[in-house]
């Protein structure tokens, strides 16, 4: 029997990164197919290729045995593919039937242009009654509905378009228990009517509950496609994290006694609660957790970019005030944000200006910037961090991801950061550059800088950190000294599968 969808050596490259590398597997008709892997494994890339978002990719995709090119959203839709993203494609300012029938409105017979609103409403109502079996006030604007209801609308949109393949990208990430069981009964309904579902989730218990088959991706590679029943939880986690690679990390040594940062019962409503920890001079502290665990939110609050709801932040024993990035930088905190291009760098400015921008006063003389002095500082970082750029006057835009990240490190070093917070410092960076960044972090800690690293790559945290803090859904699960820790243990804690 020909499979419904066949991937044949599908690859996708982004500047500096291979997001998917010759992935081949197939999905059978009428199955619920789970797609799992750590962050950055290539799940989203694969989903976006199927949805037609990218337009360009390498390799072949066959649907029902026929080769197709998914060059646009429309092309995917014609093949019966309906993708429901985590943030579904709906128009918040319009009501439910308008959203559901957008682009294929029923018209009044004989009057080609006038929308038959009554028919539209009735048909929507019928689908909800017969197939979805959930009550939603259809007259409400979609913006006033919950996220789970919006996802359901995304599915109904697919039903109206006679879609036969439904891709649900992390549909349960922000849903409550009862909403999830609603969604699962819809998934079962879809399956019974012969449709195929691709299900992406971080929550492995859900994957075991709902899927027939599983495909594991890791670092853009296809690891395996198996019957869900044939696999145990530990085996699955093992497949997701891969074999331990230790040799690429510089050896960690001890750290100082002095507490440079202390966080006490820090909370921010709806994001994280009661987080407490101490960071010592020279200590590397890792924060593990899956998407939605509140990691980025936590460090943004420590940096003063967002306001805390309660709790205390102490730097060198002194409590901080209301908090702002300015204040944080002045007291020696440097933040390397996850979104390098939009939050850390000013792409249209040159390397030099990006390095000095957060502490211009250091090179000001007679109220003017002394560029000679600034260049001297900056050149030192170019050498120290081995930044490859034609000159300091090069726009940062044109550097590779790894070199851009090193410019961010230079910026934080120039600002004399005593506490360095790095949010996914190796995201989207080539393997070689990754190792250099590990070395930078290691050297900084040796010089007494306290470092906090957020990473979705658990081997990275185990390889680099003295201590690992695990967050799950905004709560601190555990603070573990990095001794005899395994990736499996950290991942299952982060997934909320296990409690120490």
Burial class (CB in 10 A: 0-12, 13-18, 19+), 183: buried
Of the candidate residues 348, 376, 393, 447, the single one contacting other proteins (CB under 8 A): 348
Q: Is 255 helix (H, G, I), strand (E, B) or coil?
A: coil
- The runs of H, that is alpha helices, within 128-273 are 147-160, 177-192, 204-210, 233-241
Angle at 106 between CA 100 and CA 107, to 5 degrees: 145
Is residue 428 within 8 Å of 401, Cβ to Cβ? yes
Minimum distance, C-beta of residue 306 to other proteins, in the bound complex (Å)? 11
If the CB atoms of residues 315 and 328 are measured against other proteins, the closer one turns out to be 328
Minimum distance, C-beta of residue 377 to other proteins, in the bound complex (Å)? 15
Residues in the chain: 500
If the CB atoms of residues 126 and 326 are measured against other proteins, the closer one turns out to be 326
If the CB atoms of residues 230 and 342 are measured against other proteins, the closer one turns out to be 342
Closest CA relative to residue 251, chosen from 94, 465, 430? 465
Q: Which stretch binds other proteins (CB under 8 A): 28-36, 46-54, 205-213, 322-330?
A: 322-330
If the CB atoms of residues 247 and 366 are measured against other proteins, the closer one turns out to be 366
If the CB atoms of residues 23 and 298 are measured against other proteins, the closer one turns out to be 298
Q: Binding of other proteins at residue 353 (CB under 8 A)?
A: yes
If the CB atoms of residues 213 and 359 are measured against other proteins, the closer one turns out to be 359
If the CB atoms of residues 34 and 334 are measured against other proteins, the closer one turns out to be 334
If the CB atoms of residues 178 and 342 are measured against other proteins, the closer one turns out to be 342
Gyration radius (Cα) of the chain, Å: 25
Site for other proteins in 259-278 (CB under 8 A): none
If the CB atoms of residues 233 and 357 are measured against other proteins, the closer one turns out to be 357
Q: Binding of other proteins at residue 349 (CB under 8 A)?
A: yes
Strand-pair category, 196-200 with 165-169: parallel
Percentage helix, strand, coil for the chain under 3-state DSSP, each rounded to 5: 35, 25, 35
How many chain residues touch other proteins (CB under 8 A)?
29
Q: Which of 42-46's residues contact partners 24+ apart within 8 Å by CB, and which partners?
A: 42/12, 42/217, 42/219, 42/220, 42/221, 43/200, 43/217, 44/169, 44/200, 45/12, 45/19, 45/20, 45/220, 46/7, 46/10, 46/20, 46/217
Minimum distance, C-beta of residue 345 to other proteins, in the bound complex (Å)? 6
Q: Binding of other proteins at residue 357 (CB under 8 A)?
A: yes
Of the candidate residues 57, 255, 303, 381, the single one contacting other proteins (CB under 8 A): 303
Minimum distance, C-beta of residue 277 to other proteins, in the bound complex (Å)? 22
What mask, x for binding other proteins by CB under 8 A, covers residues 114 to 153? Answer: ----------------------------------------
Is residue 17 within 8 Å of 434, Cβ to Cβ? no
If the CB atoms of residues 98 and 404 are measured against other proteins, the closer one turns out to be 404
Site for other proteins in 358-377 (CB under 8 A): 358-361, 364, 367-369, 371
Q: How is residue 59 annotated by DSSP?
A: E
Q: Binding of other proteins at residue 343 (CB under 8 A)?
A: yes
Is residue 34 within 8 Å of 209, Cβ to Cβ? no
Minimum distance, C-beta of residue 200 to other proteins, in the bound complex (Å)? 28
Of the candidate residues 44, 83, 211, 337, the single one contacting other proteins (CB under 8 A): 337
What mask, x for binding other proteins by CB under 8 A, covers residues 396 to 435? Answer: ---------------x------------------------
Burial class (CB in 10 A: 0-12, 13-18, 19+), 293: buried
Q: Binding of other proteins at residue 101 (CB under 8 A)?
A: no
Q: DSSP letter string over 89-139?
A: S--TTSBHHHHHTTTS--B-TT-TTSB-HHHHHHHHHHHIIIII-----TT
CA distances to 428, 432, 436 from 248, rounded to whole Å, are 18, 10, 10
Q: Binding of other proteins at residue 305 (CB under 8 A)?
A: yes
**Interface residues toward other proteins, by CB under 8 A:** 303, 305, 325-326, 328-330, 335, 337, 342-349, 353, 357-361, 364, 367-369, 371, 411
């Amino acid at each position: 029997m020909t499979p419904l969808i066949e991937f044949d050596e599908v690859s996708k490259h982004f500047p500096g990164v291979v997001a998917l590398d010759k992935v081949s597997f197939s999905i059978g008709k009428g199955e619920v197919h789970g797609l799992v892997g750590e962050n950055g494994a290539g799940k989203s890339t694969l989903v976006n290729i199927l949805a037609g978002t990218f337009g360009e990719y390498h390799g072949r995709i066959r649907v029902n045995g026929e080769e197709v090119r998914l060059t646009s959203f429309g092309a995917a839709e014609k093949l019966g593919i309906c993708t429901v993203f985590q943030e579904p494609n709906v128009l918040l300012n319009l009501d439910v039937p308008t959203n559901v029938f957008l682009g294929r409105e029923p018209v009044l017979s004989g009057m080609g242009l006038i929308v038959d609103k009554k028919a539209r409403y009735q048909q929507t109502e019928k689908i909800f009654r017969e197939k979805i079996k959930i009550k939603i006030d259809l007259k409400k604007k979609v913006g006033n509905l919950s996220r789970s209801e919006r996802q359901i609308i995304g599915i109904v949109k697919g039903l109206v378009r006679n879609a036969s393949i439904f891709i649900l990208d992390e549909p349960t990430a922000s849903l409550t228990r009862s909403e999830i069981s609603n969604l699962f009964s819809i998934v079962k309904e879809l399956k019974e009517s012969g449709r195929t579902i691709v299900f992406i989730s971080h929550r492995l218990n859900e994957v075991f509950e709902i899927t027939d088959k599983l495909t594991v991706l890791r670092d853009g590679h296809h690891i395996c496609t198996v019957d869900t029943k044939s696999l145990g939880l530990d085996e699955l986690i093992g497949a997701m994290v891969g074999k331990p690679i230790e040799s690429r990390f510089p050896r960690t040594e001890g750290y100082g006694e002095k507490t440079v940062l202390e966080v006490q019962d820090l909370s921010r409503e709806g994001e994280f609660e009661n987080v407490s920890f101490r960071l010592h001079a020279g200590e590397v502290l890792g924060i593990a957790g899956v998407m939605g665990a509140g990691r980025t939110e936590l460090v943004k609050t420590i940096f003063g970019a967002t306001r805390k709801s309660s709790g205390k932040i102490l730097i060198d024993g002194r409590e901080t005030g209301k908090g702002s990035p300015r204040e944080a930088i002045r007291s020696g905190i440097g933040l390397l944000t996850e979104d390098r291009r939009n939050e850390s760098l000013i792409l249209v400015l040159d390397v030099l200006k990006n390095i000095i921008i957060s502490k211009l006063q250091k090179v000001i003389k007679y109220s003017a910037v002394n560029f000679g002095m600034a260049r001297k500082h900056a050149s030192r970082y170019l050498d120290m961090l081995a930044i490859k750029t034609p000159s300091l006057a090069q726009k940062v835009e044109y550097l590779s991801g790894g070199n851009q990240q090193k410019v961010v490190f230079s910026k934080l070093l120039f600002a004399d950061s005593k506490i360095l917070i790095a949010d996914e410092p190796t995201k989207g960076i080539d393997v070689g550059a990754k190792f250099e960044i590990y070395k930078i972090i290691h050297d900084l800690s040796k010089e007494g800088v306290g470092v906090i690293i957020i990473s979705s790559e658990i081997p990275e945290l185990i390889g680099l950190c003295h201590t690992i803090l695990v967050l799950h859904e905004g709560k601190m699960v555990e603070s573990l000294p990095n001794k005899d820790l395994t990736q499996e243990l950290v991942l299952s804690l982060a997934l909320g599968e296990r409690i120490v």
